[in-house]
Amino acid sequence: MNNTIVGIDVGTSQVKVIVARGQDGHALPSILGTGYAESRGVKQGYITSVADAARSIAAAAAQASKAARVPIKRAYVSVGGVGIEEAFARGEAVVERGDSEITERDIPHAIAAAERALPPSAKLNRKIIHTIPLFFVVDGVRVLGRSPLGMKGARVSVEVLFITCLERHVADLVAAVDEAGIEVEDIVAAPLAASFVALTKTQKNVGCVLANLGSETLSLVVFEDAVPISIKVFPTGSSSITNDLALGLRIAPEEAEELKRGAVLGAPFPKKKVDDLIAKRLSDMLKLVEHHLKKIGKDALLPGGIILTGGGSSIQTVSDLAKAVLHLPARVATLAEGSPGKIQIGDGSWAVAFGLCVWGTSQGGNLEVHEETSFSHSLKSLWRWFKKFLP
């Protein structure tokens, strides 16, 4: 099948793989098969053992391939570890045309200038995995609500969000997927991938934050005017809640994990103590979200609220706590309505894997992984990708 897309989410606790088929028009991909395996050789979202991670990826991919009855040769892969950072820069370009009309040739030149303007610390040992234009300025006047194409001016500048990751982390991830016998088509930041299926158009327009509660990481992406304006990954996750329960109740980690997920165990644990232990750790994690929103000037200013996804979002009290701590509307993302096909996924922990399939369907191409052969080809490829995030 030429229109088959595969998304591989390499998480700290599990590797999740979705095989999907692209749909005509703007419909979401149809899910053909899914697979998952326990993650090995992964810590806080980055690879610690390429060989172990490759075996986990191969096991999950084999399961998905069997379910979909489709061989897996290429895939879109997420990176979501603590190595992800954001950087901002502005670039400017002189409009080429003699009549001063801004064309598609001018925008990539301005974006390239922004990349050159990044401080050395933002590029040292780091790889740019996403380059997202936030807004444009023509001759000193900000362009509101749309791109500057077709406008006239002498100079066009752009404010750009660069999402970067440690080069070593990206290289190890690609090596692990390759060792599993799968070619990497594109590397996508996990929070960005999840946003394609966990957020509505309205939420992105009015402003919201998507929080992925992973096993060992808490990742955020903030949207405003339909554009991601900030991304952050914290080295804490829902496994900390499991550890708190194990220590506080003096039980095995396996029992604590079941208790965290709402299971009723044989031992008579005081419900209030269990709830207090869970609430304390969740509140600490949500305060990290609050601190980041204050840092970027968006605390209590996102009408779309906070949308929670990832394995930790299955904790029953998480949305109520999020409302109380952040003073924002809060809900847990569900994917049941947006996953057509013979397989339905309602668990938000699949958001990244399914989002990778949507990414592959809507933008295609291998724009970040393979080097371009010429500068002009690079500019054209960059422009096709950048248009996805134009205001």
Rounded Cα gap, residues 183 and 198, in angstroms: 26
Looking only at the bridges linking them, the beta strands covering 155-166 and 14-21 are unpaired
Range(s) for CATH 3.30.420.40 in the chain? 4-82+168-197+349-362, 201-332
- What is the spatial distance between Cα 77 and Cα 31, in angstroms, rounded to a whole number? 17
Over residues 55-92, the pLDDT tens digits come to: 999 999 999 999 999 999 999 999 988 899 999 999 99
* Structure confidence at residue 266 (pLDDT): 57
Q: What is the pLDDT of residues 99-140, one digit of tens each?
A: 999 998 999 999 999 999 999 999 999 999 999 999 999 999
Q: For residue 370, is pLDDT > 50?
A: no
Residues 293-335 pLDDT 10s: 999 999 889 999 999 998 888 888 899 999 999 999 999 987 6
Query: Is 4-82+168-197+349-362 a domain of CATH 3.30.420.40?
Result: yes
Q: How far apart are CA 86 and CA 232, in angstroms?
A: 7
Q: Which fold has domain 201-332?
A: Nucleotidyltransferase; domain 5 (3.30.420)
What number is the average pLDDT over the span 34-58?
94
219-233, 271-285, 341-355: segment of lowest average pLDDT: 341-355
Q: State which fold the 85-167+371-389 domain adopts.
A: Dna Ligase; domain 1 (3.30.1490)
Q: Where in the chain is the domain with CATH 3.30.1490?
A: 85-167+371-389
Residue 305 and residue 206: Cα distance in Å, rounded? 9
pLDDT at residue number 371: 32
Task: Tell me the average pLDDT across 21-43.
Answer: 85
Here the tokens at position 135 are: 């807004």
pTM attached to this predicted model: 0.86
Region 22-39: mean pLDDT is 83
Mean pLDDT of the chain: 86
